[in-house]
Amino acid sequence: MYELIQVSERSYYIQSPAKIGLVKLDERDVCLIDSGNDKDAGRKVRQLLDANGWRLTAIYNTHSNADHIGGNRYLQNQTGCKIYAPGIECAFTRRPELEPSFLYGGYPCKELRHKFLMAQESDAQELTQESLPEGFRLIPLPGHFFDMVGFRTPDGVVYLADCLSSRETLDKYGIGFVYDVAAYLDTLEMVKSLQAKRFVPAHAAVSEEIADLAQYNIDKVLEIADKIVRICQEPLCFESVLQKLFADYGLTMNFEQYVLVGSTVRSYLAWLKDTGKVNALFENNRLLWQKA
């Protein structure tokens, strides 16, 4: 873990729970794509930088989930590097308590206020194409989270953040986190058409071809949507829909799973309602969902 792996002339990644990209800007200066899940990850990244005699100039965050920004504060304090994050993700990076609050839908209890869902705050600036090093290209990847992005480096490597998961992860856990189902499907269709020297997803193997894995992720989204529609043959409240999905996929409920899977299922229900596949009705002061 935290091994530095070179994938092209200037581009690397650091093997970690969520892969960290590293790109050489010249013989001394480097930038990171994300920073790992916590201070310890940041410390290990700093050791790699020091061992190679590199100076960190900037961290470019793909999005604001805690496992991608957790090393920001430590590395910024240690190196003085700049930090950039896209759109709404910048606000979440500056105020990371927004993530568990958003997931829970209110003030999060203490079981949700920890580093897995809430990183330390860092002084981020809004990411734009103009803030990137010369030759880099920003790739919008909305869907998994609000304004997630990926990056294409000058030497042809594409960092894909969390826009897809490995087959093994999807087969094991069944339901991956999605904020906007329609945008996520559009992103996956776009990713299928990309060409690159190497693709570096945060939670799947590095490869030269990504279309098959993108399609597998699309198929999984449609499978989950169909399952929700079948569950809603008769009017059910959200908690009942969630309970049946947990049972179908063999998941175990705890606070983290409740907010992550629960938020995702609410997003599916919203998308299914907007596309006319389920109806929402209020009965006895309950919101119920039923197949259209």
Find where tokens 């892969």 sit.
19
CB 68 within 8 A of CB 62: yes
In 114-176, alpha helices (H)? 167-173
Tell me whether residue 28 is exposed, middle or buried, using C-beta atoms within 10 angstroms of its C-beta: 0 to 12, 13 to 18, 19 or more: exposed
Give the mean pLDDT of 49-67: 98
Give the mean pLDDT of 179-198: 98
* Annotation: CATH topology of 4-162: Metallo-beta-lactamase; Chain A (3.60.15)
Indicate the pLDDT class of residue 196, thresholds 50, 70 and 90: very high
The residue ranges of every structural domain in the chain are 4-162, 231-291
Indicate the pLDDT class of residue 173, thresholds 50, 70 and 90: very high
Judging by DSSP bridges, how do beta strands 20-24 and 29-33 pair with one another? antiparallel
**Cα dihedral sign for 232, 236, 241, 247?**
negative
pLDDT in tens, 236-281: 999 999 999 999 999 999 999 999 999 999 999 999 999 999 999 9
Question: What type of residue is 88?
Answer: I
pLDDT in tens, 201-228: 999 999 999 999 999 999 999 999 999 9
pLDDT in tens, 62-115: 999 999 999 999 999 999 999 999 999 999 999 999 999 999 999 999 999 999
Looking at residue 218, what is its pLDDT?
98
- Please compute, for residue 143, the number of CA atoms within 13 A of its CA located in the half-sphere on the CB side: 25
* Annotation: CATH topology of 231-291: Arc Repressor Mutant, subunit A (1.10.10)
Q: Does the predicted TM-score (pTM) go above 0.75?
A: yes
Give the mean pLDDT of 139-167: 98
Looking at residue 208, what is its pLDDT?
98
